[in-house]
Amino acid sequence: MSELSARDINELSRKLGGRIELVPNAELKLDKLIYDSRKVEPGVAFFCMPGERTDGNQFIADAIKSGAALVVSEQFHEGLAAHQIIVPDVRQALADFADALYGQPSRHLRLIAVTGTNGKTTTTHLIEHILGKAGKKVGLIGTLGSRGPGALEYGDAKHTTPQAPELQEILAAMLLSKCSHVAMEASSHSLALKRVSGCHFAVACLTNITQDHLDFHKTMDNYWKSKRMLFESLNDSCQNSKLALVNFDDPLAHEFLAICEAPVKRLSYGFSTDANIHPLDLQYQQGRSLIRLSTPHGELRLVTRLVGRFNVYNIMAATAICLEEGAAVEAIAEALLDFDGVPGRFETVSIGAPNEPLCIVDYAHTPDGLDNVLSTAALMKKANGKLICVFGCGGDRDPSKRPQMGEIAEARADLVVVTSDNPRTENPQEIIAHILSGIKRMKTIEVEPDRARAIRIAIGMAEADDIVIVAGKGHENYQLVMNQVFPFDDKVEVRKALESRFSGR
């Protein structure tokens, strides 16, 4: 176990511009950093983090009662029976302490970060898969959890990008497991809240910028500038070779490249022929994509089970990065041929029954994401088939996207079933009303707040040539209702509905 000595703590405090208030004759050393007072145990450091609803400073007494040896805060507290460090920015302090505690692991890894509104999860999984085929040991961190050559847990993660102590612990474990590369999702929250501060990135990739998380960022300007912080950090990274890669078709692409200074290498991908990596030819045949790419390393022919324009973007991004990281053209082509996709990302669900519709579960929860998924499904639809969409919107999140998603669903789908997503503390009927406000004609719309019943309604209406898209939750196996977590999995519910309709149950 790593440990911070009194000397280490003093040096970190000076670096942060903090001041230390010590308890006389008490030893100071740390092996654990805690920001949740409920998890405090004897000898740890407690960081008073400001939260959405509460402030860690309110729980200092509880933390000390549980044995906290050090309190790190932006406020001085008189008469504490624990050491104190008063810092200008407690989030920055937590990140710096975590980086030091775990031995600055990102300095010794090729840390590849992907940011953007959509596509982060698929792109990082592609990078992991391709580099693995190229003989590298690769770790993965993101929405679905963390995994690598070591015994790392893989499952739904609390955050797309973990808090700083968890992130640095994961990176240290990956380094210990002999990983050379780590592909990770870098969310706008993690960048704005400094969870990744102290990380030395080798690659920064931008997938796209569309509306999301305005409940947190308030404005689109704040949102995209939070993501740009990833590219700013490349300038200070200690990595020998550094790459900034952007989707050239995104209107903000130049803003991300312009922030990068030499010796950062700058590349772009997109459908524009001005992009460094772009398609020369693209065909969809029987559930496969045939792609011929122009790259700085020459032409590349790829065959993949991933379909849709949005997936071509993901493939171009992953291909560009892996070429720069030394993957051979043959390894990339082989990897794309046997890549199975990502759980909950345009994932087909079937029971193999005769005449069942094509059912697809996807995580699309933004206007752009829903538009991409429905547009791709429309291209796959048979001439006499219908496109049926089941979706809702999350509660306690940006409400302005709800009518936009209603408008998109009505425009793209033949039938729409509006339902609940994760309503959290909001009334599901009010969320649905927001969605319906974007819908101009109601004759193709069903409303059913119970998500399981909504899925059964959609599949009950579907015929053999139809496609049913269940959007919004993807890989999630829970539903959040009034601060309670209930088991719920779209894939399970789709299978139940198919079995009920097509197997006579």
- For residue 348, the 8-state DSSP code is E
- The two tokens of residue 452 are 């399981």
Does residue 95 belong to any structural domain of this protein?
A: no
pLDDT digits (tens, 9 = 90+) for 16-64: 999 999 888 778 889 999 999 999 999 999 999 987 778 999 999 999 9
Mean pLDDT, residues 318-343: 96
Q: Is residue 434 part of a domain?
A: yes
pLDDT tens for each residue of 176-200: 999 999 999 999 889 989 999 999 9
Within a domain: residue 286? Answer: yes
Query: What are the helix (H) ranges across 418-489?
Result: 428-436, 451-461
In this structure, the answer to whether residues 400 and 357 fall within a common structural domain is yes
Chosen domain end from 302, 317, 337: 337
Same domain, 314 and 415: no
What does the mean pLDDT of the chain come to? Answer: 93
pLDDT over 80 (residue 486): yes
The CA-atom distances, in angstroms, between 435 and each of 155, 343, 405 are 30, 26, 7
Q: Which structural domain range is residue 296 located in? A: 102-337
Nearest to residue 111, comparing CAs of 229, 205, 231, 203? Answer: 203
DSSP 8-state symbol, 356: P
Q: Within this chain, do residues 315 and 197 fall inside the same structural domain, yes or no?
A: yes
**What pLDDT shows up at residue 151?**
45
Output the domain CATH number for residue 454.
3.90.190.20
Is the sign of the CA dihedral 494, 498, 499, 504 positive or negative?
A: positive
When pLDDT is averaged across residues 401-430 and rounded to a whole number, the result is 97
Residue 96 lies in a domain: no
Which CATH number covers residue 322? 3.40.1190.10
- One DSSP character per residue, 178-217 reads T-SEEEEE--HHHHHTTTTTT--EEEEEE----S--HHHH
Q: 76-110: per-residue pLDDT in tens?
A: 999 899 999 999 999 999 999 999 999 999 999 99
> Is the CB of residue 453 less than 8 Å from the CB of residue 373?
no
* Average pLDDT of the segment spanning 464-490: 96
Whether residues 60 and 144 share a domain: the answer is no
Residues 367 and 494 in one domain: yes
What domain count does the chain have?
3
Domain boundary among 337, 358, 384: 337
Regarding whether 486 and 426 lie in a shared domain, the answer is: yes
CATH code for position 71? 3.40.1390.10
Q: How far apart are CA 135 and CA 181, in angstroms?
A: 11
Nearest residue to 150 via CA among 140, 158, 160, 142: 140
Instruction: Find where tokens 């040991």 sit.
Output: 137
Q: Which of 283, 310, 337 is where one domain is finished?
A: 337
